[in-house]
Amino acid sequence: MAILDSRRVSRAGRWVDVRHRRLGMWAYALNRITGIGLVVYLYLHLCILSLLTRGQSAWDSFVSLARSPFYLALDVILLAGILIHGLNGLRIALTGCGIGAGAQKAIFTMLMIVSAIALAVAALKIFHI
């Protein structure tokens, strides 16, 4: 049973293997990785919000920590995840409705360029607030 389970785990993990694969597979893996990242962030966010129950001083000390360059960099990573997941999701929704299925690679490339530009602008703003 243990062998079977480990096989199932290694099989399920194959979706992250993008070696020798094409652009669609990168889009697939990116969407899953960012999706998992956003779920983890949601729980972290809720945990951090729970600091409010410990009073103003606990919250204020967290806010001063959140303004450090390390936390600002995490904000940029979070935004990258939101942009990639959201815009790639748009591609999936469009192709899933039968719109642009033949041009999915061009759509993905275009949306990722939009993501990169938006992220660069947002990163500049985040670090210059």
Pick the closer one to other proteins by CB: 17 or 60.
17
Helix (H) or strand (E) holding 109: helix 104-127
Minimum Å gap between C-beta 18 and other proteins is 9
Number of neighbours of residue 124 by Cβ within 10 angstroms: 10
Residues binding other proteins (CB under 8 A): 11-12, 14-15, 19-22, 24-25, 27-29, 31-32, 91-92, 95-98, 101-102, 104-105
Pick the closer one to other proteins by CB: 82 or 91.
91
Pick the closer one to other proteins by CB: 14 or 67.
14
Pick the closer one to other proteins by CB: 23 or 77.
23
How many Å apart are CA 104 and CA 95, to the nearest integer? Answer: 7
Whether 80 contacts 115, CB under 8 Å: yes
Determine the residue type at 77: I
Cα–Cα nearest to 82, from 46, 17, 36, 38: 38
Minimum Å gap between C-beta 55 and other proteins is 44
Minimum Å gap between C-beta 21 and other proteins is 6
